[in-house]
Amino acid sequence: MDTSFDEITQAMTAYFDGFYDGDVDTLKTVFHPSCHLFSAADGPLQDDDMETVYARVAGRPSGASQNDVRRDLILSIDKSGPESALVKVQIAIGPKLFTDYLNFLRIDGRWQIISKIYTYVLLTAVLAQAAE
């Protein structure tokens, strides 16, 4: 029986919890150390390695400490083989609602994010549009 979708979903729980709680150790369970995060949402290409990401997470107030409403959702899981998948998610962090494309590889018996691209919109704009 193929359990990979359940395993990927469990990895996503760590992803969402790690960002919401500001817990770098939890995030390290799902991100491969070689992972890079890429975005052009603010203009030029932004390419962050994991140490940069972990420092940013550790240096800001967590959603949990701010009592933020959790807004995290798996939009799709596209498994293209026994060892690779693309997961599209939305997650709110602070004032932004991110859409993330997470490239997963099954390495050493577990699903790990090997690269991520993302963009965002302001959460206030999304909430205002939903109220219309």
pLDDT digits (tens, 9 = 90+) for 39-50: 999 999 999 999
Query: What pLDDT does residue 126 have?
Result: 80
Percent of the chain with pLDDT over 70: 100
Count of other CB atoms within 10 angstroms of residue 124? 11
Range of the domain at 47: 4-131
Count of other CB atoms within 10 angstroms of residue 33? 9
In the chain, which ranges are E strands?
Answer: 31-39, 46-49, 72-81, 84-93, 96-107, 110-122
Domains identified in the chain, total number: 1
Contact indicator for 11, 89 with CB cutoff of 8 Å = no
Q: In what order do the strands lie in the sheet with 110-122?
A: 46-49, 31-39, 110-122, 96-107, 84-93, 72-81
- Contacts of 94 by beta carbon, 8 Å cutoff, 6+ apart: 60, 63, 68
Task: Inform me whether the pLDDT recorded for 66 exceeds 80.
Answer: yes
Task: Inform me whether the pLDDT recorded for 1 exceeds 80.
Answer: no
Task: Inform me whether the pLDDT recorded for 12 exceeds 80.
Answer: yes
This prediction has a pTM of: 0.93
Rounded mean pLDDT, 98-121: 97
* Residue where the block lists tokens 């150790």: 25
CATH at 55: 3.10.450.50
Residue 89 C-beta-side C-alpha neighbours within 13 Å: 25
